[in-house]
């Protein structure tokens, strides 16, 4: 039998590269030849995963496209998390459009059965169609955010509101979910005003025109919205997650994304010395960067809470950035109680440790689902993309989290308005008290469901079977 060949093309940002690598590994483990398309400086992030998959007797490869040279980006910037100001993001995404010819050459040469391309490459549908190759979308969000976001985009329930704090209900969805105007992204509020906004609107619309979407979620987590997506919005979707659970060994868990800034054994040893559910893990993903005043408030709130923590401080492109925001003597006072990781953390390894009792998260979908799969309650602190919807899923629908009170959508950086008292209250309430215990029990239930979903016969396992079966109906000349 001819092997199925699927090409995976993630946008160059870790929040998309990580789940797409997991997805490609998962496909490979079911006998598909998975190929990842990326650029030279992003290729190392895939190398170990690809090597390990091939060593296990499955087939995976990487194809490289040269990142286009454009003015306005720092030298060597091939990943969206390397841009040094939000104004550069539109330039970055415009540059990725110039990958079209190279992608088409690859498709023409290899003729895969299917191209799974990122939402941020709406043009890839036409590229694939030139060679009669179906294109599936990966957008990196869950069902709830997709449904709520689409209903808000289409119905514009905020259109008569003027103040940022004015509230509205998300229309036409199974739960009563309230948001305020300032939590809606400007590209949804102002529709197509800038080139970037147009690109994002085009990307969102291309989801509904595509052959279908692969969703990193599992049915039991958000069943009403998996149904709503298909039956009300008429989207075609396969749910095959949580993708992170395909990483089973300690090594795989420790090596996702970038090179970790802490040795995995040291990190585990530190956690081993703590009692169960007693440590907070604080990490805002690969992108969010807070202003100094906000970092100061976080430190003050953490110290006042008296809780133990691991805090991941994301470094910017400038390694010499000062830490003058840090309260004097903070790190010394926190020795034994708080561990600061400057740079990349082995997040999955940390979340899986029984000492972790709470996750302060920016509600990126990967982090959200990783927290759920690890059974960890969350303090929610969204700032951009679809994170405000993910927050509502966590706090209002699943009831496994406490909101810190972020109200403002701010592109690529967390806003600076959360005061130390709010941090203190939220982190204490996620670790201590009766409600914390109830939340923890709900989390345990979801963790079990997530595990079952990917096992043979589970909803995500069957979802992937159905998808592979459908793909095998598509021709390939590979």
Query: Any idea which residues carry the catalytic annotation?
Result: 16, 118
Is 257 among the residues that bind ligand UDP (CB under 6 A)?
yes
Name which position in 14, 33, 296, 392 contacts ligand UDP (CB under 6 A).
14
- CB 320 → ligand UDP: shortest distance, Å? 20
Is 214 among the residues that bind ligand UDP (CB under 6 A)?
no
Name which position in 312, 374, 406, 427 contacts ligand UDP (CB under 6 A).
312
- CB 393 → ligand UDP: shortest distance, Å? 14
Name which position in 112, 364, 375, 382 contacts ligand UDP (CB under 6 A).
364
Closer to ligand UDP by Cβ: residue 96 or 367: 367
Name which position in 79, 125, 366, 476 contacts ligand UDP (CB under 6 A).
366
Instruction: Compute how many residues bind ligand UDP; rule: CB under 6 A.
Output: 19
Closer to ligand UDP by Cβ: residue 200 or 468: 200
Name which position in 210, 286, 305, 380 contacts ligand UDP (CB under 6 A).
286
Is 253 among the residues that bind ligand UDP (CB under 6 A)?
no
Q: Which residue is nearest to ligand UDP (CB)?
A: 15
- CB 256 → ligand UDP: shortest distance, Å? 5
Contact 461, 455 (CB under 8 A): yes
Name which position in 25, 33, 189, 256 contacts ligand UDP (CB under 6 A).
256
SS (H, E, C) the chain: CCCCEEEEECCCCHHHHHHHHHHHHHHHHCCCEEEEEECHHHCHHHHHHHHHHHHCCCCEEEEECCCCCCCCCCCCCCCHHHCCCCCHHHHHHHHHHCCHHHHHHHHHHHCCCEEEEECCCCCHHHHHHCCCCCEEEECCCCHHHHHHHHHHHHHCCCCCCCCCCCEEECCCCCCCCEEEHHHCCHHHHCCCCCHHHHHHHHHHHHHHHCCCEEECCCHHHCHHHHHHHHHHCCCCEEECCCHHHHCCCHHHHHCCCCCCCCCHHHHHHHHHCCCCCCEEEEECCCCCCCCHHHHHHHHHHHHHHCCEEEEEECCCCCCCCCCCCCCCCHHHHCCCCEEEEECCCCHHHHHCCCCEEEEEECCCHHHHHHHHHCCCCEEECCCCCCHHHHHHHHHHHCCCEEECCCCCCCCCCCCCCCCHHHHHHHHHHHHCCHHHHHHHHHHHHHHHHHHHHHCCCCHHHHHHHHHHHHHCCCCCCC
Is 15 among the residues that bind ligand UDP (CB under 6 A)?
yes
Which residues are within 8 A (CB) of 253 and not within 5 positions of it... i.e. 6 or more apart? 247, 346, 348, 349, 352
Is 180 among the residues that bind ligand UDP (CB under 6 A)?
no
Closer to ligand UDP by Cβ: residue 115 or 262: 262
Name which position in 150, 207, 370, 408 contacts ligand UDP (CB under 6 A).
370
Closer to ligand UDP by Cβ: residue 15 or 357: 15
- CB 141 → ligand UDP: shortest distance, Å? 9
Task: Quote the tokens at residue 284.
Answer: 């805002």
- CB 149 → ligand UDP: shortest distance, Å? 15
Map residues 319-358 to x or -, x wherever contact with ligand UDP holds by CB under 6 A.
-------------------------xx-xx----------
Name which position in 4, 11, 12, 18 contacts ligand UDP (CB under 6 A).
18
Name which position in 243, 283, 339, 427 contacts ligand UDP (CB under 6 A).
283
Closer to ligand UDP by Cβ: residue 110 or 311: 311
Name which position in 9, 365, 389, 461 contacts ligand UDP (CB under 6 A).
365
- CB 169 → ligand UDP: shortest distance, Å? 26
Can the peptide bond before residue 264 be classed as cis, meaning omega within 30 degrees of 0?
Answer: no
Closer to ligand UDP by Cβ: residue 185 or 285: 285
- Residues near ligand UDP, by CB under 6 A: 14-15, 18, 256-257, 283, 285-287, 312, 344-345, 347-348, 364-367, 370
């Amino acid at each position: 039998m001819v092997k199925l060949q699927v090409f995976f093309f993630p946008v160059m940002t870790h929040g998309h590269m990580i789940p797409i690598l997991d997805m490609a590994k998962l496909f490979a483990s079911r006998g598909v030849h998975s190929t990842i398309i990326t650029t030279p400086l992003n290729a190392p992030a895939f190398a170990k995963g690809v090597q390990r998959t091939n060593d296990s007797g499955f087939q995976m490869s990487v194809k490289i496209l040269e990142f286009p040279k454009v003015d306005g980006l720092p030298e060597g910037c091939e990943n969206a998390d390397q841009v040094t100001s939000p104004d550069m993001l539109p330039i970055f995404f415009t540059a990725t459009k110039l990958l079209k010819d190279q992608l088409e050459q690859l498709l023409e040469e290899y003729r895969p059965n299917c191209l799974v391309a990122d939402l941020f490459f709406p043009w890839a549908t036409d590229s694939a169609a030139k060679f009669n190759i179906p294109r599936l979308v990966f957008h990196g969000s869950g069902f709830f955010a997709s449904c709520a976001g689409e209903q808000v985009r289409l119905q514009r329930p905020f259109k008569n509101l003027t103040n940022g704090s004015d509230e509205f209900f998300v229309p036409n969805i199974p739960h009563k979910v309230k948001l305020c105007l300032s939590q809606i992204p400007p590209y949804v509020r102002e529709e197509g005003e800038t080139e970037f906004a147009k690109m994002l609107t085009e990307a969102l619309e291309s989801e509904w025109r595509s052959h279908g979407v692969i969703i990193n979620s599992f049915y039991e987590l958000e069943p009403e919205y998996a149904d709503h997506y298909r039956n009300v919005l008429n989207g075609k979707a396969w749910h095959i997650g949580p993708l992170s659970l395909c990483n089973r060994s300690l090594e795989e868990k420790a090596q996702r994304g970038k090179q970790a800034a802490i040795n995995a054994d040291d990190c585990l040893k530190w956690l081993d010395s703590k009692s169960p559910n007693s440590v907070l893990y604080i990490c805002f993903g690969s992108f969010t960067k807070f202003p100094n005043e906000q970092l100061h408030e976080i430190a003050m709130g953490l110290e006042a809470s008296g809780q133990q923590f691991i805090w991941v401080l994301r470094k910017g492109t400038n390694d010499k950035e000062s830490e003058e925001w840090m309260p004097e003597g903070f790190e010394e006072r926190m020795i034994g109680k708080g561990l600061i990781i400057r740079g990349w953390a082995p997040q999955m390894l940390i979340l899986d440790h029984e000492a972790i009792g709470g996750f302060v998260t920016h509600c990126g979908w990967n982090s959200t689902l990783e927290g759920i799969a690890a059974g960890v309650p969350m303090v929610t602190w969204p700032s951009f993309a679809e994170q405000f919807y993910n927050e509502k899923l966590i706090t209002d629908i699943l009831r496994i989290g406490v909101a810190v009170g972020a109200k403002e959508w701010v592109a690529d950086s967390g806003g600076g308005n959360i005061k130390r008292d709010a941090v203190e209250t939220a982190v204490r309430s996620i670790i201590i008290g009766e409600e914390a215990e109830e939340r923890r029990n709900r989390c345990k239930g979801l963790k079990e469901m997530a595990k079952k979903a990917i096992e043979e016969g589970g909803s995500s396992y069957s979802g992937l079977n159905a998808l592979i079966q459908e793909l095998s109906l598509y021709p390939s000349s590979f």
